[in-house]
Structures are given as structure tokens and as C-alpha cells.
Structure 1
Amino acid sequence: MRAPSPRRLTLLLGALSAIGPLSIDMYLPSFPSVARALGTSVAAVQLTLATYLAGLAMGQLAYGPLSDRFGRRAPLLAGLALYAAAGLACAAAPSLAFLAAARFVQALGGCAGLVIARAVVRDRFDVRDSARLYASLMLVMGAAPILAPLLGGQLLLLGGWRAIFGVLAAAGLALAAMVALGLPETLPRERRQRHGPGEIVRALGEALSHGPFVRLSLAGGAVQAAMFAYIAGSPFVLIELFGIPPARFGLVFGANAFGIIAASQLSRFLAARRGVMPPLRAGVAAAVVGYGALFAAVHAGGGLWLVLPGLFLGVASYGLVAPSATAAAMEHFEARAGSASAVLGVLQSTAGALAATAVSGLADGTARPLAGVTLACALLAAALLWAEGVSASRRRAGTPG
């Protein structure tokens, strides 16, 4: 199989990475409909997002080492098949508990695309080129949050919330076909890890014990967690609290996603000229300012047009942070890029699951839980980035840290 052109590779890896946001964002407008159909509350339906994120975290622990041992293609195809089957189960869910369990399994399959796409990039590119490609992937991924809620809102009108999961299952099958036909193996047999479970555990432990890798991964994960808090809380805040119709919810959501796309391209520009750390620092600063403005607006009792600007800046900051934090963290690993990608994904998905659960658990009928959790995540990212800066200075000076 011939290697795809850089553009085709970017599109394919972007589509694989986009399966996560697509699976999350497409069903957001249906939260009130799911709650009515299954006899529960919108806050309870928000927990299906947390179970999906938990599945992302757990599944990545398996796919990283498996892809280091068996190559990238086979685990990826298996994961996409599982994703499609679980999507059909979601479409047939008779209860909220069944839906939450099916979403968990769907995430176990879908996370293969997230882990292995990062590993493929690390297989083929150095740190600066990786940062630029990650930013390009954000351009492809960014289309999903723009289009998914709009498509989900239309599917909700035409076929109900179950049709949304049927379309996701079809998307999983289509991606499997694209991988089978268009993605050659990027990890040669001579570079594969042939060790048993004990060595796999040691490889994961090596990544977890690497201070700079963990701090950079968690800094990116904290900003991602703020975005997942926004994703979990926005259906209630925007639809129920501010009265935006579900069919128009995607317009607001899409505008914020456009901010991610624009910021990711700025990250690509900065990384090519100044390295990965300047866009990372700028993105974390933007997150603190944006979510701080959201917190102030909500606690001042501001209306929708006072809330939206801070929300836009905070969400857009993810486009600056994600490519730079990922490239900076993955720079420290080459031979075990799959395992490192798995640990990075676990750290970030766990942070996202905790943030989404916090928004649901703190629900009080206002926008305050969303504002408080997002600001806390942004401040945590700033603290982690400061700690890594101090540690890097000590390493350059030749002292431990």
C-alpha cells in the first residue's frame, strides 16, 4: 500500500481524531429529548458524557501498548468495529443505565482513533513538524464541533435522538473502510515492542513517572477538561436557562468551535517560528482570562450576551493549547510513542470526565457550576505550566527537578 500524501494523511488522521468530538457533540442538542424519553433529568443525561469520557480514559491504556506491539492498523480497525457496534446499541437503548453503559463501550472503541493517530504522527515526524501537523489535525477536528450539533439538531427533528447514534455507527464503519484502504502501517516490525505484560506496565509507568511529560500532559488536559465541562453544561445553560432552541444550539456551539479552529492555526504559525512553548503559554493565559470573564459575568447575573464572550475566548484557547501541549509532551518519547500517547490520553480524558461529572454533580439550576469548574481547570493549567517552567529552568541549570 502506497503512503498517502501529507494532505490525505492529515485528513484521515483528523477524521480519526474527530470521532471523539463527533460522538460527544452530535447528541448534545438531544439531552432534553433523551431525558423525556427515558424518564429522567437533563443533569442525569449529562452523566452519559462522563461515562463516555471514562471509557476514553480506560480504553487508551490498552490501545497504546497494543499498537506498540502489533502495529497501528490492526488495533485501530478492531477499535472502529467495536465503536460501530456500540453505536447501534446506543440507538436501541431502553433506559438511561443501558445508554450510559453502551456509551462507555462506544468510547472503548472510539479511543483507538485518538491514541493511534497521535502515535502515527510521532512515528513519522519530529517535534516541530508534529506540532504543525497536530495543528492541522485541529483544523479537521474543528469541523466536527461546528457541524455535529447542527447535524444532531436536524437528525433530532427528522428521526429523533436514536437516529443520531445510528449515524455515528455508520461513521465508524466508514472510517474503518478508509483505514483499511488508505492507511499503511507506520510502525515497522523491527521497531515493535515484543515484551510481555510486565514490560507493558513498565512502559506505562515510565511515562507516568516522567515529570515533564506528566505536567505538560495535564496542563493540556486541564484546558481540555474545561472544554468538557462546557460541553456537559452548555445544553442546560444555553437551551434550558437562556432559551436557545435545540435546532439553533449548534449555531452558538459552532461559533465557539470556529474559535478553536482559528486558534489552532495561530498555534501552527507560532510553533513553526518560535517552537511549541509560546503558543502553549498564550493559550493557557487566554483560558484563564476567558473563563475568568465567564465566572464574573455569571456571578454578576449577566445575560446571554455578557456570558458568550468569555465562553468563546475560554473555549478557543483549547486550539492554542492542545497541539502545543501534545507535541511538547510526546517529544520525550519515540520508541514507545503508543504507550506515551495512551498515558497522555488517559490523563486528559480522566480530567475531562472529572470536570463533566463535577458540572453535573454541582447542578443548581444556574450557570454557576459551569463557570466555576471551567475557571478552576484554567487555573490548574496555569499552575502546572508554571511548575514545568520552574522545573525546566532547574534542568538547564543542572539541578534536580
Structure 2
Amino acid sequence: MQSVSSVSSARPSATSGYRLSKGTVLPLAGLAALGTLATNIILPAFPGMAVSLDVSSRELGLTLSSFFVAFAVGQLLAGPLADHFGRKWLVLGGLAVFAAGSIVCAVADSLSFLVFGRVIQAFGACAASVLSRAIARDLFDGEVLARALSLTMIAGAAAPGFSPLLGSALDGLFGWRPIFLVVAIVAMALAAFYGLRIGETLPLALRTPLRISSFATPYGRLIVNRRFLFPALSLSMIIGGLYTFFAAAPSILLDVLGLSPFELGLSFAATVLIVFVAGFLAPRLAHRWGQRRVGMAGLLIALFGGLSMFAFALAPSFISFTIAIAVYLLGMGLINPLGTAIALHPFDRQAGSASALLGFLQMSSAAIGASFASILPLPPLSSLALVLTIASGLAILAFIPVVLGRQFKEMPRT
């Protein structure tokens, strides 16, 4: 089989006939999962971090919201740079910045220093996340692109899903600081794997000139393009709800439901199964029923999950909470790869900018959702239920034009 680099350099556009392989999917999954890994792995360590830094667990929420904001803004810079310079050196540079930020977090002796390290982490991780989608768009098209994104999501879910277990174990054995050293090592290993197995995927013929306008013009054109705007907004609402769940989970599972940090890790690991199922189902259902119909079905399922959480909010239990969030994750798992493919498909020459703007919208939604969940004058579970329900409802409204609009054609089936 030809290497990815040789295929991409030989062809001026995405190649829908390129065969998916572990050597392609695993590095892309790692790049896509890095930001979530860096967030989820520290969640079980919040109690120890709070004691060590003499702050409350609620104040540690700054380490999440600051990460989300920096992650969102950084992507807007990474997209045009990647479309001009190519993917490889931005990926490797981003991973190096992420590792440096992780080391800063590991030696932090105050909350402000820890937040500073998290911001550096976010600026590095955002390049990896943006370019995981852009690289997939460089290489694949049509249904193959949707399958690539689905496989990336499935493989990428394992790291953030199981990382709280690892974080809990490391915190119990060595304290919270080595957790950040571990993620720095992961980033360096991922850089080596990516460099050896994928490398550069954007041919010189497809690179765009770099001007000051390069950082505004592509986004201006994308944000008014219905083919990008509606699927991107819809997907961003749902992903924002996912990150709100990540931010709210420690308070709900540890404080309200009384789980231990290790049990919190097990709970997150159980969600991986739901994402696996949805990831396997999404491209298969889309092949039969179409990406837009299956995407809308996923949004309706996510809405039902948010509404279900309201039904149990007054008398919460671990089982009822798990069922409700599992339903939401099932819907999210269906719309995520399909919505991403729909949003990126028309923009092969602007794949980096389109992916960056999509990531910006997603992380902005995450920051807004997490902030609302923490400041609403409601119990934590009710706040999360409200955010998930509103996010799902808005996502459905944004996706209606995608389902009904003639300009949203089904991508070619292969």
C-alpha cells in the first residue's frame, strides 16, 4: 500500500478511493482526542488539586473554561496557517507547545499558574484537533470521508473515555502532578507516530497565499455560506453539550451522587461503549438512509436524552443519570461524524480554515455551556439537563435547513 504522503503529493485533491488503514486512523484519532484527553484525565484529581493549591473544586473550573476559550481562539489562527504552510509542521509544532504547557501545569504552585499552563496546552492541542479533520478532508471524500471521521471518532473516544481511570490511578499513587507529565509524553509519542505514518498531506498546488486578509476573509466567506454554517452550528451545539457534561460530571458524580474518583473513571469508561456503537452505526445507517436523515435522527435522540435528565433531576441516581447521558451520547455519536463530513465536504481548498472555524464554534459552545451550567441557580444535575436540552433544541433548528435545503446534496456513495 502506498504511504499517505505519496498519495497526497501525487494528487491535487482528496482521494475518495484511498483505503482506510490503522496507520491512518490511529494518528488522526490521537490528534482529535488530545484536547479531550488533557481535560478528562485531570477530572478525578480535582479533589487533590484543590487541597494542594488551597482552592475549591468550583474554582478549578477555571482550568476547564480557560482551556476551552484558548482552544477556540487558537484554532482561528491554525486554520489559515495550515492552508498556507501545510499540515506537518503545524501538527508537530502544536504537539511541542502542548507538551511544554503540560510541564508548566506539572510544576504549578498556584491556580493562576496552573491556568496559564492550561492555556499553553490549549494553544498546542487546538492545532492537532483542527488538522485531524483537515487531514481527513485532504485524503478522503464522500462516504469514505464519513467513514474516516467515524473511525477516528471511535478510536479517539477510547483515550478520553478511559483517561479518567488512568488519572485516578496516577493521582492515587503519585499525586496529580505526574498526570501532566504523562500527557506530555503522550504528545511526543504522537508526534513521532504522525511524522512516520502520515506526514504532509496538503500538496503545494492546493496551498493558499498567506496575507493579513487570510485570517479573516476565509472565515467571512464560510460563515455566510449556508452549506457550512447550518451543519456547523448544529454540530457545535451538540459538541458544546458534550463538553458541558465533561465539566459538570465531577460535581454531579463526586458530590451529588457520591462516587469515588475511581468510580468516576469507570463511569467515563462506560461511555466509550456508547460512542463505539454510534460510530459503527453512523456510516452504515447513512449509506442506507442518507447522511442528513441519520444526522437529524441523532439530534432528536440527543434531545430525548436531555429531556430524560429532567425527569430524574429531583430524585437523581447513578443509574438514571447514566441512562440519560448514554442516550445523549448515542445521538451525539451519530451526528458528529456525519455533521462534520457535511460541513467540510464542499471546501477541499479551505479544509484547514473550515475545520478551524468548525472547531472554534464547537469550543465556543463548550465554553458557553460550561459557564451556564456552573452559574445557573439550579442544582448541578438540573443545570446540566437544561443546557443539554437547549443545546439539542437549537441544534435541531439549525439542522432543519440541511435536511430540507436543495443545496445540501447527499455526498457520493462508495
TM-score (norm 1): 0.94
Within 5 Å, give how 1:202-213 maps onto structure 2.
Answer: 202-213=217-228
Q: SS where residue 193 of structure 1 aligns? A: coil
Q: Structure 2: how far apart are the matches of 1:220 and 1:366?
A: 24
The residue matched to 1:94 in structure 2 has which SS? coil
Is 2:21 aligned against 1:20? Answer: no
Bigger shift: 190-199 or 151-160? 190-199
* 2:388 aligned partner: 374
Tell me, in whole angstroms, the C-alpha distance in 2 between the residues paired with 1:297 and 1:285. 19
Are 1:191 and 2:191 matched, yes or no?
no
Question: Does residue 1:52 correspond to 2:53, yes or no?
Answer: no
Q: How has the CA–CA distance of structure 1 residues 366 and 75 changed in structure 2, closer, same or farther, with 3 Å as cutoff? A: closer
Cα distance in 2 for partners of 1:164, 1:327 equals: 34
Per-residue CA distance 1:142-188 (angstroms, 9 max, x = gap): 11132101111101101111111111111111111122222231111
After superposition, where does 1:2-401 map in structure 2 within 5 Å?
2-3=3-4, 6-298=21-313, 300-362=314-376, 366-390=380-404, 392-393=405-406
The whole-number CA distance in structure 2 between the counterparts of 1:395 and 1:282 is: 17
Task: Give the Å deviation of 1:209.
Answer: 1.5
What is the Cα deviation at residue 114 of structure 1? Answer: 1.0
CA distances 1:96-137 after superposition (whole Å, capped 9, x unpaired): 122112111101001111111111111111122111110000
Hey, what does 2:11 align to over in structure 1? none
Identity over the aligned pairs, expressed in percent? 34
Kept after mapping to 2: 8 A contact 1:128/1:276: no
Letter in 2 for 1:107: A
Alpha carbons 2:373, 2:380 under 8 Å: kept: no
In structure 2, distance between residues paired with 1:260 and 1:339? 27
Deviation at 1:303, TM superposition (A): 2.5
Aligned to 1:399: none
**Distance of 1:208 and 1:394 partners within structure 2:** 16
For 1:231 and 1:301, how far apart are their aligned partners in 2? 21
Gaps of 5+ in 1: 397-401
How big is the shift at 1:353? 1.1
| Number of residue equivalences | 394
TM-score (norm 2): 0.91
Q: Unaligned stretches of 5+ in structure 2?
A: 6-19, 410-414
Deviation string, structure 1 residues 186-222 (Cα, Å, up to 9, x no partner) = 1111211124121342112111121231111111111
Matches of 1:7 and 1:271, distance apart in 2 = 22
After superposition, what is the alpha-carbon deviation per residue over 1:196-250, rounded to whole angstroms, capped at 9, x for unaligned? 1213421121111212311111111111111111111110100111111101211
Moved over 6 A (4+): none
1:393: Cα distance to partner? 4.8
1:46-67 C-alpha deviation (Å, 9 max, x unpaired): 2211111111111111111111
Equivalent residues of 1:47, 1:360 under 8 A apart = no
CA–CA distance in structure 1, aligned partners of residues 373 and 338 of structure 2: 27
